[in-house]
Chain A
Amino acid sequence: MLDQKLHVKLPEGSIEKDTTTLNLGPTHPATHGVFQNILEIDGERIVSAVPTVGYIHRAFEKIAERRPYYQITPLTDRLNYCSAPINNMGWLMTVEKLLGIETPKRVDYLRVIIMELARIADHLICSSVMGVDTGALTGFVYVMTYRELIYEIYEEICGSRLTTNIGRIGGFERNFTPAAFAKIQRFLDEYPAVLKEFETLLTRNRIFMDRTQGVGGISAERALNYGFTGPNLRAAGVDYDLRVANPYCSYEDFDFSIPVGTTGDCYDRFQVRNAEMWESISIIRQAMEKLKGLPEDVYHADVPAYYLPDKKDVYTKMEALIYHFKIVMGETDILPGEIYNAVEGANGELGFYLISDGGRSPYRLHFRRPCFIYYQAYPELIKGSMLSDAIVVMSSLNLIAGELDA
Chain B
Amino acid sequence: MSLTNERIQQRLTEKFGEALTGFEEPFGMLTFTAEKDSNLKIMQFLFDDEELRFRFLTDVTAVHYPERKNEELAVVYHLHNLQDNVRLRLKIFVPVASPKVFTATKLYESANWMERETYDFYGIEFVGHPNLIRVLNVDEMTYFPMRKEFPLEDASRIDKDDEMFGRGGTI
Contacts and interface: CB of A to CB of B under 8 A. Distances in A.
A66 B167 contact: yes
Given A224-B56, A368-B58, A376 B85 contact: no
A260 to B, nearest CB: 14
Interface string B102-121: 00000011101110010001
Interface residues of B, number: 39
A54 B110 contact: no
Interface in B46-71: 55-59, 61, 63-64
B137 A353 contact: no
B113 A66 contact: no
B135 interface: yes
Contact of A337 (B26, B117, B167): B26
Given A339-B27, A353-B61, A63 B152 contact: yes
A313 B30 CA distance: 43
B78 A353 contact: yes
Interface in A352-406: 353, 355, 359-361, 363-364, 366, 368, 372-377, 405-406
A291 to B, nearest CB: 29
Interface string B10-32: 00000000000000001101010
A304 B152 CA distance: 30
What secondary structure prevails in chain A residues at the interface with B? Answer: mixed
A340 interface: yes
Interface string A339-351: 1111000000101
B100 interface: no
A337 B26 CA distance: 7
B152 A349 contact: no
Given A337-B26, A376-B109, A359 B58 contact: no
A245 B85 contact: yes
Nearest to B117: A372
Q: Which of B56, B82, B146, B153: most chain A Cβ within 10 A?
A: B56
A340 B59 contact: yes
B95 interface: no
Nearest to B121: A61
Contacts of B29: 340
B47 to A, nearest CB: 11
A353 B112 contact: no
A376 B110 contact: yes
Contacts of B109: 222, 225-227, 376-377
Contact of B136 (A331, A342, A351, A406): A406
A331 B165 CA distance: 7
Given A226-B109, A368-B58, A376-B112, 19 more contacts: A62-B145, A65-B152, A98-B27, A225-B108, A225-B109, A227-B56, A227-B58, A329-B165, A330-B166, A337-B27, A340-B58, A340-B59, A360-B166, A363-B63, A364-B63, A368-B59, A372-B113, A376-B110, A405-B136
Interface of A: 53-54, 57, 59, 61-63, 65-66, 97-98, 222, 224-227, 238, 240, 245-246, 329-331, 337-342, 349, 351, 353, 355, 359-361, 363-364, 366, 368, 372-377, 405-406
Instruction: Pick the 7 closest A-B CB pairs, nearest first.
Output: A227-B110, A54-B136, A57-B136, A366-B61, A368-B59, A66-B152, A364-B63
Interface of B: 26-27, 29, 31, 55-59, 61, 63-64, 76, 78, 82, 85, 87, 89, 108-110, 112-114, 117, 121, 134-138, 145-146, 152-153, 165-167, 171
24 contacts: A57-B136, A62-B145, A63-B152, A65-B152, A66-B152, A66-B167, A225-B110, A227-B56, A227-B114, A240-B82, A245-B85, A338-B26, A338-B31, A340-B59, A349-B58, A351-B78, A355-B63, A359-B167, A360-B165, A360-B167, A364-B64, A366-B59, A368-B58, A405-B136
